[in-house]
Amino acid sequence: MMNKIPLINSYIREQEKGNVEFVLHNNLGIYETSVSKMVAVVKNMLASEDNMSQYYTNIKNMNLKNGTQEVAEYLIRRG
């Protein structure tokens, strides 16, 4: 939603697993478990305009939005 490329190095198992899988499946970001490799990952990403552009295009095409207001309104209606 912020048009930033996610760089994920860890997540809370099962709670965030689906989110990480979504990011990877849709080529929206990078998952690297090794913190020591993250610098190389970022350098590699920044060195390739085409690679960066593809991530940004994929993110934009997802048309993600924050649904907080819709959820709150739904909960209030069900109140």
- The string of pLDDT tens digits covering residues 17-72 is 999 999 999 999 999 999 999 999 999 988 988 989 999 999 999 988 888 999 99
| pLDDT score, position 65 | 85
| pLDDT score, position 31 | 95
Q: Distance between CA atoms of 50 and 47, rounded to whole angstroms?
A: 9
Give the tokens for residue 17.
């697993």
> What is the pTM assigned to this prediction?
0.76
Residues sharing a CB contact under 8 Å with residue 28, sequence separation 6 or more, in sequence order? 5, 6, 22, 55, 58, 59, 62
CB 38 within 8 A of CB 7: yes
